[in-house]
Structure 1
Amino acid sequence: ADLDRVLARPDFDPAAAAARARELTDRGATTAAATTLLRVRTLGQLRALRERYRAELDEVHELIAQLVTQAELVRLQPAIAHSSGELVRELVDRVEGLGELFAYQALLEGGAGPGEWNNTSAGERS
């Protein structure tokens, strides 16, 4: 929700930023245009991050719904309880993936670049 609010702000519109970069380039302000293009790229990263959040949250929601359904089945037919372990492992993996996304967002907010994320996340996964 916070990321949605930020991306809804007019100054976070990638089309407006790209238009501004073209305007600056046309005026010969190449340094300012390059900075604006960096902002366009960063806005793209933020939008991609939002989409990853949405996809991960959708997956977690569906896994939880399946887990609840399977729990009812196990309650009614205890002999099939062994198959629930796999679903729980998948849910845990997805939640851990969300943790990595939150860490990535924190690095972006702190000004870290993609190279720093790769180094940090690889170290955390080891």
Structure 2
Amino acid sequence: GAVFDWIADKYVDAAVILGVGFSGIPIVSHLIDVPPVADFGVVGLALAGSLINTFIKPVTYAEIGFSERIAGKIEDPLEGVGFFGRPETILVLVLGGVTGYIWIAILLIAVCTNLSAVQRVFYLYRQYS
């Protein structure tokens, strides 16, 4: 159940972010003098950050393992590491959509998810190297 839920979450994230990209909404091209294709580059960064940020956890489980299930839940070696995960991504997307500032939401996701992924990688490097 949890595996299928995780996979479905990734497809939903990708569909929403790509939907914004294909909609033609300007992300950065209305702020700075760049071609409109730069907007899709930012969307690509948002998508990559969103997917990689959450992909780090299962890779960590596969590499370092986990000790046991506690009350049906796997002990998470990355609990509390990374300031911008899936809940924050969804919240920012919803707020951006409701307020009409979806371009700001995509920019925030592009920056914050990738920074959070780097934060998790550095944490793992310090803990397990």
> TM over 0.5: same fold?
no
Greater share of helix: 1
Choose between structure 1 and 2 for higher RCO, CA contacts under 8 A separated by at least 6 residues: 2
Relative to the length of structure 1, the TM-score reads: 0.39
Q: Which structure has the greater CA radius of gyration?
A: 1
